[in-house]
Structure 1
Amino acid sequence: MIQDARIVAGFTGAGISTESGIPDFRSPDSPWMRHKPISFDLFLQSADARREAWRRKFAMDDLYRGARPSLGHLGFASLVAAGRMPAVITQNIDGLHQESGLDPDQVIELHGNGTYAKCLACGGRHELDWVRRCFDADREPPDCRMCGGILKAATISFGQAMPEGPMRRAQKLTASCDLFMVAGSSLVVYPAAAFPAFAKENGARLVIVNREPTPLDGAADLVIHAEIGSVLSVFVS
């Protein structure tokens, strides 16, 4: 099926990173449930909430500091390198697609990126090592070094608007592809999960690789319930 495709759109969710040691948010006893993200509105309104948000962020980072790209990530990277897949659309925030060898412009991050911080006022990027040194020194997150604004991990929090640029890029890729390949997404988180359905409605073939059934299995041209890495390893070069 991939051999016949002109443009393949990749779409990944938490399942591709569980094989790297990062549990799904909904997994039983997930550490995410012990360090639940702070809502965007509360983050903006409360200095206490911002302190707690950064504490939880660094606690999670410590748990998964050794995570490395899985065979699934490497399979997608090989498809991109071969010119079969222009970019990967991802719901993940772990940066493992970039670590697998993809350039940042080859990864469309719908939910942002947790490997650095951004200023909510000017958009300036700040590296987490510096933010953490400041936080550990006096238990207060630093302000933006450029404008004095509030710093936040560069992820999309609950209640925060989806990023317009990545959403437009994802829509454009979805509209242009003739094969849409989902790997490791439960396809229940919207609006991100709307892209596979849009691709199918636009005439593309839909392939879903996931350990568990998804709401779109019935509409897919091919469904594989298996470990992501074991399926996508055939593309690793």
Structure 2
Amino acid sequence: LKFVLVKDGEQIPKQNLQKLTSASIPDFTKVILIINQKDVSIPKGNFIIVKDYTAPLNQIEIWIEKKAKEYGKTITKDAIKELIRRLDTNFYALSTEIKKLAFYVGDRKEIRKETVSEIVKELGEEDIFEFVNAIMFSRRNDVLRMLDHFLKDQGQENLILSQVLKTLSIYLIVNDLKNKEGLNLRAINEYIASIFGTYLRTKTLEEIIKNLEVANIENILKQYSAFVEFDVKSKRGEIDLPLSLRNYILSRVS
């Protein structure tokens, strides 16, 4: 099975988007279309539509600037990007950390990237991969231990969810590039970096490839789809995200 990922579907001209969604897709291919539009009908065939309800990046950046001004501070562009990289679009966490940063810089009027890097914690790559691997392979004790660790801080569940989705999507992409296209590790990592902006550690990438030898790719896709649904419903305010995440993850390892 081959997966084709199409990001930022809302930027595709409407006529071209209609051609894409009406195209005949072979049975051995799944097209994952990520789009920030509510009026897109789900086409028939081998399409997976992921409706992205997150706010546009430029609006998030403006919001961060305004939030910093509430505390009498300015924040540099690279500091804003670093903040988003670490916290994604979790507005609760962003608000909390901006307040913390404003108090930390004291009399200084500007919040800089190095301060964000020093103060705002991020999930380690190896930690989140270990967590996802524990879910995939039903290692209940590891899941329970890491679940309590990751969800102990209020407001961190959106960050956890975004990182889990990123990790599962990397699994799908690596499976396609390695097992279908036959690319080597370096070429795969170059492709990953072109999508996510950062390279994977060699150790992490090697572990992904090793896990794919025994993992069921259809189950990974089902888990990805389930977490996407949680993401959409939480942004609509339809679910209690921490509780829903915990219950779903525990059901996978029971």
TM-score (norm 2): 0.25
- TM-score, normalised by the number of residues in structure 1: 0.26
Compare relative contact order (CA 8 Å, sep 6+) and give the higher one, 1 or 2: 1
